[in-house]
């Protein structure tokens, strides 16, 4: 969070990336993906349901 906050205040734009998670994803897999991105992105997003679809209920 510190690096992201610093990047927001000092850079023209910020680069983020989202990790791909499956139901079988474990902490080692997350760490491996994050290590690959280290030094290339300012922040990493981890979502809980990438295949979810946003919708509104009728009023």
Mean pLDDT of the chain: 84
Phi, psi of 43 (to 5 degrees): -155, 155
Domain boundaries, the chain: 2-45
What is the C-alpha separation between 28 and 49, in angstroms, rounded? 19
> Is the torsion defined by CA of 55, 47, 45, 51 positive or negative?
negative
- Percentages helix, strand, coil for the chain (3-state, rounded to 5) are 35, 10, 55
Q: Is the pLDDT of residue 58 over 80?
A: no
- Total number of residues shown for the chain: 59
The residue-averaged pLDDT of 2-15 equals: 85
Distances (CA, A) of 14 to 23, 28, 45: 29, 26, 13
- Write down the pTM of the prediction: 0.64
In this predicted structure, the answer to whether residue 35 has a pLDDT above a threshold of 90 is yes
Q: Is the pLDDT of residue 28 over 90?
A: yes
């Amino acid at each position: 969070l510190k690096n992201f906050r610093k990047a927001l205040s000092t850079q023209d734009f910020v680069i983020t990336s989202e990790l791909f998670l499956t139901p079988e994803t474990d902490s080692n897999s997350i760490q491996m993906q994050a290590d690959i991105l280290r030094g290339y992105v300012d922040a990493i997003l981890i979502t809980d349901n990438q295949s979810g679809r946003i919708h509104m209920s009728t009023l």
